[in-house]
Amino acid sequence: MTHHTLAPPLAGKRDNPSLATVLGTELARNRRGFVPWYHLLAPVIITVPLFLGALGSSEAKAGQTFEVFRNVTLEFWGVLVPMTAGLAAALSVRADQDAWRLLLSYGVPRGRYFVGKVAALGVLGFVSSTVLLVMLSLGAVLSGKFPGALGTVVAAVYLPWLVGLSMTALAVLVAVMWGMGPSVGVGVAGLLSGALISDKVFWYAVPFAWPMRVVLPLAGIGPNGVPLPKDSPVTDPSAIPLAVGLAAVLTVVLLAIGSLHMSRKEI
């Protein structure tokens, strides 16, 4: 008799895992392969040569080594965030095709698989941003500018990640609906938009440009890494809350669309 009273909750639990459980499973399945290593190593691979380049710059002679290193690194990071979103989503969703055939046959609310995938890639992005912050801090230590010169660096590292979650949601949705190529295309569009559109007056109309746009006023640079004049409208910090707000709305909308698509997806 006792056995019968316990059975339904266990079955219910299997068919109704919390989002945290789905996220944990996603992270566990993502711990091997190219995607986690890319997130860990990309910040190291871009910062080491950039720091060595900054040491040989003309500004280094004026004691501006760290400032040059910081500006060029943040410029690279602003365009790399959406590129990473597209690449990681494409590879991660492709790796899941066989697993989803089994998972989608359970009675689990399917939208959780989509939200869990976006959340897992978001966690990896946060780890990657943290590695970048460590590398920038090491650059500041080696330049004798730690911690004074870091200033807005923490915000300039984590805000593109936060705004870039909308690009991760978009890339995962595109990968689920149309496959790997279009998802990588989202990343390329993000890279180009960051470089070409983030300092234009209509930047807010192009979501791909948002991660780079929040970097510019914090670092005081243009998308080419060159310091901006003090009176440049691009240095206006009001763009940051606008970008964060727009990204939050877009992320929620994309998660809803993705969840709906997954619930209707045929196995």
* Residues ≥6 apart with Cβ < 8 Å to 11: none
Mean pLDDT (the chain, rounded)? 85
Count of domains forming the chain: 1
Residue 76 lies in a domain: yes
Upper half-sphere CA count for residue 24 (Cβ side, 13 Å): 5
- Please tell me which residue, 173 or 195, carries the higher pLDDT value: 173
Is the pLDDT reported for residue 9 higher than 70? Answer: no
Question: Confidence class of residue 18 from pLDDT cuts 50, 70 and 90?
Answer: confident
Instruction: Tell me the residue range of the domain where 237 lies.
Output: 18-264
What pLDDT shows up at residue 194?
Answer: 87
Residue 3 lies in a domain: no
CA distance 186 to 166: 11
Residue 243 lies in a domain: yes
Residue 210 lies in a domain: yes
CA distance 26 to 201: 39
Upper half-sphere CA count for residue 41 (Cβ side, 13 Å): 6
Q: pLDDT tens digit string along 90-122? A: 998 888 766 655 565 555 667 788 899 999 999
What pLDDT shows up at residue 8?
Answer: 47
What pLDDT shows up at residue 87?
Answer: 94
CA distance 40 to 38: 5
Structure tokens at 67: 């400032």
Query: What are the backbone angles phi and psi of residue 91, rounded to the nearest 5°?
Result: -70, -40
What pLDDT shows up at residue 260?
Answer: 92
Tell me what the mean pLDDT of segment 254-260 comes to: 94
Tell me what the mean pLDDT of segment 210-218 comes to: 92
Residue 2 lies in a domain: no
Highest mean pLDDT (candidates 11-20, 168-177, 217-226, 255-264): 168-177
Structure tokens at 72: 């060029």
Residue 95 lies in a domain: yes
Q: How far is CA 135 from CA 68, 143, 177, 211, in A?
A: 14, 12, 36, 20
Residue 8 lies in a domain: no
Is the pLDDT reported for residue 193 higher than 70? Answer: yes
Is the pLDDT reported for residue 6 higher than 60? Answer: no
DSSP class per residue in 128-159 = HHHHHHHHHHHHHHHTT-TTTTTTTHHHHHHH
Is the pLDDT reported for residue 197 higher than 70? Answer: yes
Residue 133 lies in a domain: yes
- At residue 41, what is the residue type? L
What pLDDT shows up at residue 4?
Answer: 47
Ramachandran area for residue 33 (φ above 0: left; ψ -120 to 50: alpha; else beta):
left
What pLDDT shows up at residue 175?
Answer: 94
3-state secondary structure of 221: strand
| Distance from chain centroid for Cα 81 | 5
Tell me what the mean pLDDT of segment 81-92 comes to: 92
- Please tell me which residue, 191 or 28, carries the higher pLDDT value: 191
Tell me what the mean pLDDT of segment 253-257 comes to: 96
What pLDDT shows up at residue 21?
Answer: 80
What pLDDT shows up at residue 267?
Answer: 53
What pLDDT shows up at residue 104?
Answer: 57
